[in-house]
Amino acid sequence: MTSNKRFSKNHKQLIKQIEQLLGASRPFFVDMTSGNHLSFLIEGVDKPLFTSGTPSDRKAYTNFIAEVKRAITPMEAAELTEEEQQEQQLICTNKMMEQCIANCGRLFRQRKAVLAEQEQQRFDEHGDVDLLAQQRADLVKEQIGHDLKQRHQTSYIKPKMMRVLNKQVRHHLDFLLPSLAAYHSEQKQAQQELVVNESQTEMAKQTAVDAVSERAPLALVANGGHSVVAPSEVKPVLELKASELTAEKVVKAPSTSKAPGPKTVTGKALQSQQLQQLASLSSNNRINLFRQLTKATMAQMIDDLQVAMARNEAQAIEEILAKVTELDLPREQLIARLQNG
């Protein structure tokens, strides 16, 4: 019952009769369907019961009450525990308790949509099911106190009676709102989705690193030995891959540690690493890499390689001459040895 304004005078009379029939201990909820029918959801009844909002037959509501009686008869015949029997007897013999439970249940029915929305917002904000349980207990206690105060109840209420009041009113509230088990299930599912998304993000980062590593040797060759894959290029690629997988909204779990970032290599060390990667490739793989280059680039690379070989030979000869000079070796004997092979 989201708003009393939605129900006519006849509707309210029917709801009051159903409330009296069910008693204070059995919660129920009533709503108006889109087809202008009244829908009654009663605890223990496995399906909603419907009746016309504008009946053409004056006996329609009488017949509906009879239908409700038939639906709850099997439940009334069920055996109650000794504690439940004592509680029922206490409520039936105490008009104040019965009225208090009925008034609180009626108010909760009227505010059902608002209470459910507020509770969902608190769960989304804090993600703590225990906090929701405590807030429900506080709401029940507050509502009972407000009802007793409105009816000027000044006499002492025994602790046992107050415990029964809290239990019965809380029973009405729990029937109208989603169960705490449903919140637990939602929380567990959100945590599982978070773990999956984190795993996919890590896989995307590793894929991005591998992609950069694979094109680094080819980029080095294409630029004549100078690296064109700067370390700063790796971070945007990682961020792009991660953003593709974390676009959906997920519940963020608190984290106390940070995973170490990728190691950055710069300057000559990066060039040396890229050359080692190129040299470690098999001959076929290197040929496949070179085939992706243009003919002009390959010709320039051949010239560069020949120049590099000539410079290495010249450097080696200079080093040998410097060693001969340092050790003061007889050059005639060295020349003769070289000529004789």
DSSP letters for 82-102: HHHHHHHHHHHT-HHHHHHHH
Assigned token pair, 254: 């608190």
Map residue 143 onto helix, strand or coil. helix
How do the pLDDT tens digits run along the chain, 341 residues long?
444 557 888 888 899 999 999 988 899 999 988 888 899 999 989 899 998 877 777 788 889 999 999 998 887 767 678 888 888 888 888 888 888 999 999 999 999 999 999 999 998 888 888 999 999 999 999 999 998 888 777 677 888 889 999 999 999 999 999 988 888 888 888 888 888 888 888 887 777 666 655 555 555 555 555 444 444 444 454 454 445 544 444 444 444 444 444 444 456 676 777 778 878 888 888 888 888 888 888 888 888 888 888 898 889 888 888 888 888 888 788 888 888 76
Please spell the DSSP secondary structure of 133-191, one letter per residue.
HHHHHHHHHHHHHHHHHHTT--S---HHHHHHHHHHHHHHHHHHSPPHHHHHHHHHHHH
Residue located via tokens 């017949």: 63
DSSP 25: T
H or E stretch covering 49: strand 49-52
Assigned token pair, 203: 């896989």
H or E stretch covering 280: helix 267-280
Assigned token pair, 335: 């020349």
| Opening angle at CA 160, ends 154 and 162, nearest 5 | 45
pTM: 0.54
Q: Per DSSP, what are the bridge partners of residue 52?
A: 37
